A = this chain, B = another copy of it.
Amino acid sequence: MAALELLAQRGQEGVTLRDITDRVGANVAAVSYHFGSLKALCESAIEYALERYLDEQIQELGFLDTTSTLQEVAAAFARPMTRALAAGGEELAVMRTVARVGIDPPEGWQRLTGKFDRSRRDALRVLTANLPGVDEEELIFRTRCAAGMLNWLALAPIGTELAAMSVEEIGRQLIPVVAGAFHGYPQPASGQAQDPHQ
């Protein structure tokens, strides 16, 4: 039940029935018996991963309030990923599966839209307090960009490099980048460009 996320993350469509059964030492019939089909097994694994990630994300954002700094928001936003990168193993496989779903969403993934929306709303709430001058639409966009960046880190080779670091080291490098993406760096509307952080 657990070791198959390791396969779901190596490619949603690239995982075969016998890959899984060989890895866990089971028989192909066991999958049909327990899940009905390979597709149902994958959906079950994806649902498990999504729930686990969203619960963690919502909890992290729940620790924040309107007095939280932008760095704290970025840290909370990125913490599920940084923790998974540092932990590796099944925790990282869960994050990779979630990231894959963001690229190749399965058919019936709308079941979890509720939790997903709540996670996004929580992030938006703490961001608007820090960046009152930015449109809500743009904050949503930045949130999605930041989430995409984190998902990319989980999937791309750079993620395996980060996996060798501690969670503090990852956060030290990553959080300023996430916070910077949230904050933005305005385009020179007219005249001289100035450092907006002063």
Q: Does A194 count as interface, using CB distance less than 8 angstroms?
A: yes
Q: Is the CB of B158 within 8 A of A153?
A: no
**A6-44 vs B: 1/0 string, CB under 8 Å?**
000001011000000000000000000000000000000
List B contacts of A102 (CB < 8 A).
Answer: 152, 156-157
* Closest residue of B by beta carbon distance from A64: B196
| A57 smallest CB distance to B (angstroms) | 14
Q: How many residues of A contact B (CB 8 A)?
A: 53
CA distance A14 to B69 in the complex (A): 44
CA distance A148 to B99 in the complex (A): 12
Q: Does A2 count as interface, using CB distance less than 8 angstroms?
A: no
Among the listed stretches A86-94, A120-128, A176-184, which one makes contact with chain B, having 4 or more residues with CB under 8 Å of it?
Answer: A176-184
Q: Does A104 count as interface, using CB distance less than 8 angstroms?
A: yes
- Known contacts A13-B11, A177-B145: A185-B187 contact under CB 8 Å: no
A151 CB contact (under 8 Å) in B69, B71, B152, B174: B152
Q: Is the CB of B177 within 8 A of A71?
A: no
List B contacts of A103 (CB < 8 A).
Answer: 103, 152, 155-156
List B contacts of A194 (CB < 8 A).
Answer: 69, 72
List B contacts of A145 (CB < 8 A).
Answer: 149, 152-153, 174, 177
Q: Is the CB of B148 within 8 A of A69?
A: no
Q: Is the CB of B144 within 8 A of A148?
A: no
**Could you list some 28 contacts between A and B, CB below 8 A?**
A11-B14, A13-B13, A70-B185, A71-B186, A71-B187, A72-B196, A74-B185, A79-B197, A102-B156, A105-B157, A145-B149, A145-B174, A146-B149, A148-B148, A148-B149, A148-B152, A148-B153, A148-B156, A148-B158, A152-B152, A175-B187, A176-B184, A178-B181, A179-B185, A179-B187, A180-B184, A180-B185, A182-B185
